[in-house]
Amino acid sequence: MAELDLNAGPAAAPANLAGATRAELRATFADAFGLDEKKARMRANQLFRWIYHFGVTEFDAMTDIAKEMRGELSARFALRRLNMVERQVSSDGTRKYLLELSPGVEVECVFIPDVGRAGALCVSSQVGCTLNCTFCHTGTQALVRNLTAAEIVGQVLAVKDDLEEWPTAGPVDERDRRLSNIVFMGMGEPLYNLDNVAKAMEVISDGEGISLSRRRITVSTSGVVPQMAPLGERTSAMLAISLHATNDDLRDELVPINRKYPLDELLDACRNYPGVSNARRITFEYVMLKGVNDTDAEARDLVRLLKGIPAKINLIPWNPWPGAPYECSSWERIEAFADIVNRAGYASPIRTPRGRDIAAACGQLKSDSVKKRASEVRREAAGV
């Protein structure tokens, strides 16, 4: 199937400017209205603020733009949101959204309250994934396509709408923020879509718009080594590595990209990640799989492996999905493993599973969930 472009939309729909970068807005004004560079920039800056600071979806609300120009904008462009196909709220407050990018192409994102400074939004970068990590549900779904930058930003816009987080006037009071962090830990491998991830980050982190600091944006990778330095150089994103194993044999099996970029290359790329320091540590994610990677010896290996790298360790209880060939390690095992890691100086590393009842937890995302009733998903997740 040809790649579908959100901005193009169906033939009759006007081009969508929600999700556009400053440069794209500038080009739009220059092309559509024949404005010179300076005027186009000024208009683009005005629009940018309305779209991303105030979250408006009507050009008519842009009161500092002349009425005539607003009319022209409305006639030729739109500020559409991604269509929300489904919205589920977990008993722990986690919200999972199924958003339609283009007809039949859907993606999930998850808002998790009380994570990061206030709440974290886990966004997707691809529909499906080309990699096949054996413990991950998304890995069972073939890649449909990369998201555009506008579609990545579109997830943030849709969730800010749902959280009613747009200011009515004046600057944002940081204390009121509910959405304070973004993690690229949804569907897909962000480093296989770096151009769009970088472009989306440019919009999301812009101080005159959504204004989330790049230090509060984390990109998780399964280990696409050649793209790690470019990620750091281009985006200054915080880095997370899906490690999950401490030796190549096991990692080859669990995270097959390891066959291409083995552990020593991966850890070297971490040591050289631009800007890495004790104040900007790399997060190492380690999913706890019963009888697979959860012995005391492996906890010690983990500590040894990460020696000298400014690191945080995140132990993730494995989240079940239908048909998966794994079980989550017992709580006692996870605690014993965590103890060893803690004693080596890494603080509170166990990630509490969130939103498991709505299949919103790490690695449970798969966009065909629209076809299932919530009760069915819950039954399956509970293994009954």
Identified binder of ligand SAH from the candidate list 50, 77, 97, 135, rule CB under 6 A? 135
Which among 376, 379, 384, 312 has a CA at the least distance from the CA of 341?
312
Identified binder of ligand SAH from the candidate list 220, 246, 293, 369, rule CB under 6 A? 220
Options 169-177, 205-213, 268-276, 359-367: segment touching ligand SAH (CB under 6 A): 359-367
The b/e string for 92-104 (b: 16+ C-beta within 10 A; e otherwise) is bebbbbbbbbbee
Options 101-109, 264-272, 360-368, 371-379: segment touching ligand SAH (CB under 6 A): 360-368
Please name the residues in contact with 177: beta carbons below 8 A apart, sequence gap of 6 or more: 117, 118, 119, 165
Give yes or no: 3 in active site.
no
Helix (H) or strand (E) holding 206: none
287 binds, among ligand SAH, ligand SF4, none (CB under 5 to 8 A by kind): ligand SAH
Binding residues for ligand SF4 (CB under 6 A)? 129, 131-133, 136, 138-139, 188-189, 222, 242
Task: State the Cα angle at 305 between 301 and 308, rounded to 5°.
Answer: 135
Options 38-46, 157-165, 296-304, 358-366: segment touching ligand SAH (CB under 6 A): 358-366
Distance of CA 329 to the CA centre of its chain: 26
Count of residues in the chain: 384
88 binds, among ligand SF4, ligand SAH, none (CB under 5 to 8 A by kind): none
Which among 48, 52, 63 has a CA at the least distance from the CA of 157?
52
Please state the closest distance from residue 346 (CB atom) to ligand SF4, in A: 22
Q: Tokens in use for 374?
A: 């919530």
- What residue type is 263 in one-letter code? L
Q: Which residue is nearest to ligand SF4 (CB)?
A: 139
106 binds, among ligand SF4, ligand SAH, none (CB under 5 to 8 A by kind): none
The answer to whether residues 160 and 97 touch, using CB atoms and an 8 Å cutoff, is: no
- What SS3 class is residue 53? coil
HSE of 23, CA atoms in CB hemisphere, 13 A: 6
Residue 213 to residue 219: CA distance in whole angstroms: 13
Q: Which is nearer to ligand SAH, 109 or 185 (CB)?
A: 185
Candidates 109, 122, 270, 362; catalytic one: 362
Please state the closest distance from residue 355 (CB atom) to ligand SAH, in A: 12
- Which of the residues 152 through 211 are near ligand SAH (CB under 6 A)? 185, 189
Q: Which is nearer to ligand SF4, 205 or 220 (CB)?
A: 220
Residue 261 to residue 271: CA distance in whole angstroms: 15
Identified binder of ligand SAH from the candidate list 287, 303, 338, 377, rule CB under 6 A? 287
Please state the closest distance from residue 239 (CB atom) to ligand SAH, in A: 10
231 binds, among ligand SF4, ligand SAH, none (CB under 5 to 8 A by kind): none
Residue 273 to residue 295: CA distance in whole angstroms: 29
- What SS3 class is residue 85? strand
Residue 357 to residue 381: CA distance in whole angstroms: 7
HSE of 136, CA atoms in CB hemisphere, 13 A: 28
Candidates 108, 151, 202, 298; catalytic one: 108
* Using rule CB under 6 A, residue 285 touches ligand SAH: yes
111 binds, among ligand SAH, ligand SF4, none (CB under 5 to 8 A by kind): none
Q: Which is nearer to ligand SF4, 28 or 242 (CB)?
A: 242
Give yes or no: 328 in active site.
no
Binding mask 292-331 for ligand SAH (x = CB under 6 A): ------------------------x-xx------------
Pairing of strands 119-122, 105-113: antiparallel
The b/e string for 228-239 (b: 16+ C-beta within 10 A; e otherwise) is beebbebbbbbb
Q: Which is nearer to ligand SF4, 73 or 239 (CB)?
A: 239
The residues annotated as belonging to the active site are 108, 362
| Residues near ligand SAH (CB under 6 A) | 133, 135-136, 185, 189, 220-222, 242, 285, 287, 316, 318-319, 362-364
